[in-house]
Structure 1
Amino acid sequence: MYAATTRPATPDDIPTILSFIIELAVYEKERDKALATPESMHKALFEDGHVANAFIAEADNKPVGFALYFYNFSTWIGKKGIYLEDLYVTPSARNLGVGKALFRALAKVAIEEDCGRIDWSVLKWNTPSIGFYESSLGAIRQEEWVGMRLEGAEAFERLKSLGA
């Protein structure tokens, strides 16, 4: 029997988290976009005013995945929610309950924090993950929404000067 456990990440997990982020970026064909550093991850996850949280999934006392999330807010339901930024499970541990264990940890936080929902995005071509989210978790696609993004200092400066 394969049993995955989850626990909150600690500062000692930063190298593992960064390696998982790189593996995820390679899988998503965006390795060059993974720019996180040990310093940026420590600040984001563990310093005063941290903006994100993470869980580590382990099997046989070995890290096999992670989930990184932060809180958002829904004006429609008037409650905070969880935004799952990344969920990654190593290929050797897939289809063994690790993803479900990480989602259970998120559900526990959502209940404890009185969150209204858990949101995340998935690439359209990632059919194995979409199938897992829909069939195993009961997730509902949000196809009527289009993701939008402004990225980087140049875009922010351009936006700041609009209409000036």
Structure 2
Amino acid sequence: MTIAIRPATAADVPTILRFIRELAAYEREPDAVEATEPMLHEALFGATPAAEVLIAERDGDSIGFALFFHTFSTWTGRRGLWLEDLYVTPEARGSGAGAALLQALAALAIDRDCPRLEWTVLDWNTPAIDFYRAKGALPQDEWTTQRVTGPALHALAGRNR
């Protein structure tokens, strides 16, 4: 059983959305997914794609994905890759699909002259943290993620509802 990694196509959008929903359920936020197939199609394959996806397959079946996009570092003066989501179906975990997806992303980063491949992981997700550490990832404990959403975002924009 060989793991193959390939770029997603528009035909993969339903599978990508299913993976996103499965990941949200795993991350204890099953009702948080607002994305729809049309939204993902536009974001991934529209006139100005916002992100890209790699699909992991085993024997022709899609078993995981990595959704990523470019960032920019003023310090390096170059783009980086941000891994937004990495997901492998429960039955395929331990197959090497996650490692193959990360390896493909690292190779893509190098091919695109990106000095960084970065992502966040939930602090309670010890299986993922252990997996990432085993692949050489180091925590960036001095940085904390900040987020503004909903009414706070509108207030910050001066557009109170």
| TM-score bucket (shorter structure) | over 0.9
Q: Taking structure 1 as the reference length, what is the TM-score of the superposition?
A: 0.93
State yes or no: 1:160 paired with 2:134.
no
Quote the Cα distance in structure 1 between the aligned partners of 2:141 and 2:117.
Answer: 16
1:46 match: 45
State yes or no: 1:142 paired with 2:140.
yes
2:61 match: 62
> Secondary structure at the residue paired with 2:23?
helix
Quote the Cα distance in structure 2 between the aligned partners of 1:31 and 1:16.
Answer: 16
The C-alpha deviation readout for 1:1-56, integer Å capped at 9, x for no partner, is x3210100001000000000000000000011111100110111001111100000
> Secondary structure at the residue paired with 1:40?
helix
2:88 match: 89
How far did 1:62 drift?
0.1
Alpha-carbon RMSD across the aligned residues, in angstroms, is 1.1
Q: Taking structure 2 as the reference length, what is the TM-score of the superposition?
A: 0.95
2:115 match: 116
Quote the Cα distance in structure 1 between the aligned partners of 2:146 and 2:154.
Answer: 17
* 5+ residue gaps, structure 1: none
Quote the Cα distance in structure 2 between the aligned partners of 1:151 and 1:42.
Answer: 23
Percent of counterpart pairs with the same letter? 51
2:8 match: 9
